[in-house]
Structure 1
Amino acid sequence: MSYLSIEEQENILVVTLDQSDEKVNKLTEELITEFQQLLDQTDPDEIDGIVLISGKENNFIAGADVEMLKNKEAPDEIEDLSQRGNTLLLKLENFPKPVVAAIHGSCMGGGLEVAMACHYRVASEHSKTVLGQPEVKLGLLPGGGGTQRLPRLIGVQNALTYMLTGKNIYPRKAYKLGLVDELTHRDAILTAAKKAVQKINSGNFEREDKRSLAHQLMEGMSPLRKIIYSQARKRAQSNTKGNYPAPDKIIDCVQEGYENGYQAGLRLESKSFGELAATPESNALVNLFFAMQGAKKNPDEEKAKDITKIGVLGAGLMGSGIADVSANNDYRVLLKDQEIEPAAKGKKSIWESLDKKRKKRIISEFERDRIASHVTPTATYDGFENVGLVIEAVFEDLDLKRSIIQEVEQTTPDDYIFASNTSSLPITKIAEAANKPEQVVGMHYFSPVPKMPLLEIITTDQTADWVTATAREVGIQQGKHVIVVNDGPGFYTTRILAPFMNEALMLLEEGISIKELDKHMKQFGFPVGPAALFDEVGIDVAAHITEVLSDLFGERGVNPSRKPTELFEEGYKGRKNKKGFYRYEKKKGKLKKTKPNKEIYQFFGGSGRKSMDAETVQQRMTLAMVNEAAWCLQEDILRNPTDGDLGAVLGLGFPPFLGGPFRYIDREGADTIVQRLEEFEEKHGPRFTPAEILKNYAKAGKKFHSE
């Protein structure tokens, strides 16, 4: 199969990349081989230059084929692959005639490395065009010369910022940095690229150094560059807490290339690429990547009903967020609240979010207005007669949700779907109020909806297959990674979060300080500490969840802490009323968390606090969540371990480098996990009783994942 098609235009070879069996172009061994042959067989004396362009609609090259990396033995075979890629890109870089990359759509990872090896880059200004080096998110580094070319194009400090975070670079920023040489309309990139070939040949192009004067001075002297490397290491350590090995190796490669030469940098890059691919952290992150890819596919797509119009009930933070991700993905939305003012306020927040993108030049003014026009605020059910899906995002009250179903059914078509965005109330009980309970489903979004990548769909014994398929398809179109779980109190994510948060309260009662508790868990790899999370979620919400789950845990002899209810009754709600585990104050118009609220210690035995062993705290907290995940699999709330891993990482911030609860069990060994749980059970009681499935896996020496 040929991935490249070649056409001569105006004495320029226009090379079109198009992997016909894939939705996007990926850097594969076959493509590397075919490209190598093209360069070997092309006589530079017979052409003016080469233009690389994609045959895909919104994609240049999405990056290296991760499946290719997974199928190779690390470190040796991965290092060899990197060396082969570097040989090809050096040949491209040193081709005697101009090679121009015409970029429209995603140009990521290995795709950007191909583009950087070209002599000139022209990119479309379209919102679908995005560049970046996201390899760090897979526990890897750019293995195709990226650690050497990116710093030389945009400067050491700028390059480290993007390589160490994996952040996207949009067209305007890419041009400002000097990563691309020209911006144009998507329909004009081929014409612009061919003109660039002639411009280079005529000697009328000289790349401008767009670094600031301060950057040029610092990066021009070796002693000052050492300060840059040192500061970058400190920032990386602060961000990763030492849990990810890739950032240090990225800095090593940049430093090697600058201090000992380009070729030395490439050699170290290939070696480090292979070494990182062999680490458990990269293995976990790569498996997580495949799980995320799987959650973007609908196995029952053919059963899904076509949805064009969605009704969202409740225009608060969650409802507006759901309307936002729907409108941004071309759904028409009726955003309903009890009065028109809050509904209009909800639409305004969507418009403001779009306008921020417009100001950053991610979208145009026309796109902003077009997307905003998809949302219609309303205080009535007028227009709901042709809505295919209604998503309610009202207060967590069972009777309220039941009454809303009965209201909605008076207007909507017979084949509409009712979805509840509840975080804990059983969908079966909500569906009891419906004329057609088989058309009721849970769609649990996470706050803030536009940023959080997970959607948890909850089905009952009655939910029709086409309803599940449709809800999943809508979630995927909204840009979410979707997991489907079975109904039960708290479903999956809320249920496994509850013991984790409960353990935090137990530790506070034993005397740990808020600051130390949060520090230990962030050091372990959670993005925020549990005390800060209480404030973000809302202590009132935590009290409600405790009530919903109390019977479930009571059946196992577990008595959850009553502290959330006590705190709520005393007026503590967290961030929303600036009264929680932390103090809050407004800075530059935004509410900022400042320092722990020591007054709250009166509910936890007084102000006297004691230091506690970090590992013990981390294990008690983490195993509370991990054990509950196993209970969920045992009780068929979870359909498979992969969804369990994905839900915990994307929904709750379980450390990605550990891969999720079930990958963590496999990594540590089920027998080790059971042993730790039994030790805690002896000290702290039945909340640490290991799930039976864990004991069975420990006895059999089994793993939850086959690879």
Structure 2
Amino acid sequence: MTDQNSNDAEHHFLLRTKKSGVAFLFFDSPGTQNFLTHAVISELERAIEQIISDNAISAVVLISGKGNTFVAGADLHEILKYQTAEDATRLSEFGNRVFAMLANLTKPTVAAINGLCVGGGLELALCCDRRIATNAPITVLGLPEVSHGLIPGLGGTQRLPRLIGAAAAIELTVGSDLFDAQRAYDLKIVDEVVTPDDLLKRAEHLALELVQHDTSVTGDASLRPHGLFKGDTSLKHETSLKQEASQPSVDQLKKLFALWRRSVRLKTKNRYPAKLKVLDAIEEGLLNGFDRGITREISTFAELAIGEVARNLIFLFFTKELAKQLAFKEARQVSSAKLSDFKVFDYEDIPAITGDIKTASGEKLFQLASELQTDEVLAVLTSTDSINDLVETLPNKENIVGLQYFHPVEQIKLVELIPHKTTCSYARALAVKSVLKSKKLPVIVSDSPGFLLNRIVAVYLQHAERLALSGTPVNWIEKSLTDFGMPIGPFAMIDEIGLSRAAAIVTNLRNKLGERFFVNSTIFKALELGMQGRKAGCGTYLWQNDERQHLNPDLQIKLNLKISEEQVTPEHAEKIAHRVILPMVDEAARCLEERIVQRPREIDLCLVLGIGFPAFRGGLLKYADWFGIKELIAEINEIYQETSPISPISDYLMKLEREKRGFYSRATD
């Protein structure tokens, strides 16, 4: 076997040619994962040129030199550096030219996939004649670019539909689906699934099989999937998820894309442009040829790459990944600990045996704390009570930690983890490990009234209620906030939280933080009328079979709430949304001032994961920076003039204005 690579100081590829004539091109960048950058693609180009010129090479296996990653896609950090569409265009054009060199090699190519193969990694694999993937749990494939506000920019919108059919390709790209090797095989994206131990041997064997097939070496397009990619619109390999034998006609394709566009617009309200733009690129190629499709893909990728939505979604992706990395790092400190040693007690949900829920809960909590063994940890679930107060008189309190889940629990992937003053590092790490095991993300918050999310959400709900009680139609409020990007309106959110829990949260906040948290008449009146929320089928709304119907007429009459037959205008809807959303920014600033969390990004992540704050806006504080701090303060001042007593704006927000900076930006001159 001979080894060859480039003369660069930093290598990404190593070419090893075996006596059989099969060359293994190992992708092994410095660092823990392989990413595609301009430098990497440049070296790939040189490697392909070397393969073309070396007559001793009869076939190529593209494989990773890492144990956990084939290729983890394009380097998003590099994409964020682009200042103009021209910058992004140059990379996409260059990458497509190099990938076309690989796709058009007359020597057979096999992609041997083990580990992460997503985005540009899958696009690279699609350029090969065959793909083999391992059945290892770490092997994950997909084109997730749309979830980052982008579209595939290295030929994925053209090669994937020609390989598996338009219907399947659309579903995978629009949905940013990630899937294992078996599903990739079922979809005909990969040709074989093998064990990791068999990958090298089987890839070499398959490459030699292709060499021995005469027409494969001569580049017969009928045998090579990528042979179709030179503007061929016949869709020879067209299949759907149902593996239909017939090829769709032009009219059928147009109908398919029309249905998808209608569905995407209904779900996204045009807030996520990549979901529609990727349809345009796929359709262009299928109807007008591969080259036209690639041209559309490149221009669309460049347009989206410098857009605000992509920047915000990539920011949130990095923020979430960082939070996960920190959490897993902490969990590794107790890697040998048993999850069975982690006990959970719901302080607010125990039956009130004595008629006093706090007394009953306190007695049970003391008993559980007393029984804790050295390696056991007790997590106390609470949404209102201070964890420091709860553990003050308990034994073994160093092994106790607070947790707060959010409703609906089965959907919300966020958990607040609240250590108290003497929680030991072991207890905290085991709590983190347990939350991760439940496929949720723990965020560490300081012990304070309402903790983080409930405190900010309470502001959201009370300003919505204030508008309703002052005569703004409830349906206008709900629509204004969903138009802003929230998944549901504030009154529907009250029902999701549950009336009793919501009442406990706002009461606690008012008692602990004062009059800026005013009493929510809607919540307490609903409770008086016996309404409990979605689970009980009756709250601020009436519910049937877990589906929201309409505003509760009894509550509407009791509080004189209005419903308007007219539609709210876009201008008025924006004003309503500002009156509900902007005070949240001020409360979030107070949370930073009090060090409930350390960084703005933690607040933005919590609100996106916890209540579905619109991700395309980047989070609450990203949105505040976009809005402008000076303009924000002026609007909040106007809103606060309508409250009684009038609230002062937080010192933190005023300091940002004095220093002429935002939550994420530095001071400007």
**TM-score band, normalised by shorter chain:** 0.7 to 0.9
2:557 paired residue number? 602
How far apart are residue 641 of structure 1 and its match? 1.0
* 1:489 counterpart letter in structure 2: P
* 1:94 aligned onto 2:104: yes
How far apart are residue 578 of structure 1 and its match? 1.5
Q: For 1:87-486, what aligned pairs fall within 5 Å after superposition?
A: 87-201=97-211, 202=213, 209-211=238-240, 219-221=248-250, 223-298=251-326, 301=329, 305-306=333-334, 308-309=336-337, 332-333=339-340, 387=341, 389-396=342-349, 398-414=358-374, 416-447=376-407, 451-464=411-424, 467-469=427-429, 471-472=431-432, 474-476=434-436, 479-486=439-446
* 2:649 counterpart (676, 680, 690): 690
How far apart are residue 474 of structure 1 and its match? 5.0
Is contact 1:155–1:219 with CA below 8 Å preserved after alignment? no
* 2:80 counterpart letter in structure 1: K
1:534 paired residue number? 494
* 1:490 counterpart (447, 450, 453): 450
* 1:31 aligned onto 2:40: yes
How far apart are residue 62 of structure 1 and its match? 2.0
Is contact 2:465–2:520 with CA below 8 Å preserved after alignment? yes
| CA offset digits 1:115-162 (Å, max 9, x no partner) | 111111222344433222111121111111112112222222322222
How far apart are residue 684 of structure 1 and its match? 3.9
| CA offset digits 1:388-442 (Å, max 9, x no partner) | x433345356545543442233332335433223233211112213224444322
How far apart are residue 676 of structure 1 and its match? 1.0
Partner Cα distance (2:503, 2:146) in 1:
38
How far apart are residue 697 of structure 1 and its match? 1.3
Partner Cα distance (2:401, 2:197) in 1:
43
User: Secondary structure of 1:483's partner?
Assistant: strand
Is contact 2:327–2:432 with CA below 8 Å preserved after alignment? no
TM-score, with structure 1 as normaliser: 0.81
1:3/1:564 CA distance change after superposition, 3 Å: same
* 1:667 counterpart (626, 631, 634): 626
* 2:320 counterpart letter in structure 1: M
Is contact 2:515–2:645 with CA below 8 Å preserved after alignment? no
Is contact 2:96–2:155 with CA below 8 Å preserved after alignment? yes
Is contact 1:486–1:636 with CA below 8 Å preserved after alignment? yes
* 1:53 counterpart (55, 59, 63): 63
* 1:647 aligned onto 2:606: yes
Is contact 1:17–1:52 with CA below 8 Å preserved after alignment? yes
Partner Cα distance (2:332, 2:188) in 1:
45
* 1:87 counterpart letter in structure 2: R
How far apart are residue 667 of structure 1 and its match? 0.9
1:513/1:101 CA distance change after superposition, 3 Å: farther
* 2:239 counterpart letter in structure 1: K
1:628/1:173 CA distance change after superposition, 3 Å: same
| Larger of the two Rg values belongs to structure | 2
- Unaligned segments of structure 1, at least 5 residues: 311-331, 334-386
Is contact 2:475–2:564 with CA below 8 Å preserved after alignment? no
1:183/1:392 CA distance change after superposition, 3 Å: same
Is contact 2:502–2:523 with CA below 8 Å preserved after alignment? yes
How far apart are residue 585 of structure 1 and its match? 3.6
* 1:624 counterpart letter in structure 2: P
* 2:511 counterpart (551, 554, 566): 551
How far apart are residue 74 of structure 1 and its match? 3.4
* 2:267 counterpart letter in structure 1: N
Partner Cα distance (1:5, 1:404) in 2:
63
1:107/1:596 CA distance change after superposition, 3 Å: farther
1:211/1:304 CA distance change after superposition, 3 Å: closer
* 1:518 aligned onto 2:518: no
How far apart are residue 291 of structure 1 and its match? 1.2
- Unaligned segments of structure 2, at least 5 residues: 1-9, 217-222, 226-236, 350-356
* 1:572 counterpart (531, 538, 545): 531
1:671/1:605 CA distance change after superposition, 3 Å: same
1:190/1:685 CA distance change after superposition, 3 Å: farther
Partner Cα distance (2:260, 2:273) in 1:
14
| CA offset digits 1:578-618 (Å, max 9, x no partner) | 122444444xxxx4444544444234315654655311221
Partner Cα distance (1:187, 1:450) in 2:
38
| CA offset digits 1:170-224 (Å, max 9, x no partner) | 3343233322222333433333333332343426967754327997768431x44
Percentage of identical aligned residues:
30
| CA offset digits 1:506-536 (Å, max 9, x no partner) | 3343455555433322221112222332222
How far apart are residue 281 of structure 1 and its match? 1.5
Is contact 2:380–2:402 with CA below 8 Å preserved after alignment? yes
Q: For 1:588-599, what aligned pairs fall within 5 Å after superposition?
A: 591-599=546-554
User: Secondary structure of 1:46's partner?
Assistant: coil
User: Secondary structure of 2:178's partner?
Assistant: coil
1:126/1:515 CA distance change after superposition, 3 Å: farther
Is contact 1:405–1:433 with CA below 8 Å preserved after alignment? no
1:254/1:608 CA distance change after superposition, 3 Å: closer
User: Secondary structure of 2:626's partner?
Assistant: helix
How far apart are residue 654 of structure 1 and its match? 1.0
Partner Cα distance (1:667, 1:622) in 2:
14
2:7 paired residue number? none
Is contact 1:99–1:120 with CA below 8 Å preserved after alignment? yes
| CA offset digits 1:463-514 (Å, max 9, x no partner) | 4455445544554565544422211111001111111122333334345555
Aligned length: 625
| CA offset digits 1:254-302 (Å, max 9, x no partner) | 2332333222222222222222121122221122122112212339957
Partner Cα distance (2:242, 2:602) in 1:
50
* 2:560 counterpart letter in structure 1: G
User: Secondary structure of 1:298's partner?
Assistant: helix
* 1:40 aligned onto 2:49: yes
* 2:281 counterpart letter in structure 1: C
Is contact 2:462–2:518 with CA below 8 Å preserved after alignment? no
1:705 paired residue number? 664
* 1:626 aligned onto 2:635: no
* 1:2 counterpart letter in structure 2: H
Partner Cα distance (1:679, 1:12) in 2:
72
| CA offset digits 1:11-42 (Å, max 9, x no partner) | 322233333521x3222333322222211111
Partner Cα distance (1:491, 1:685) in 2:
24
| CA offset digits 1:304-330 (Å, max 9, x no partner) | 7525455xxxxxxxxxxxxxxxxxxxx
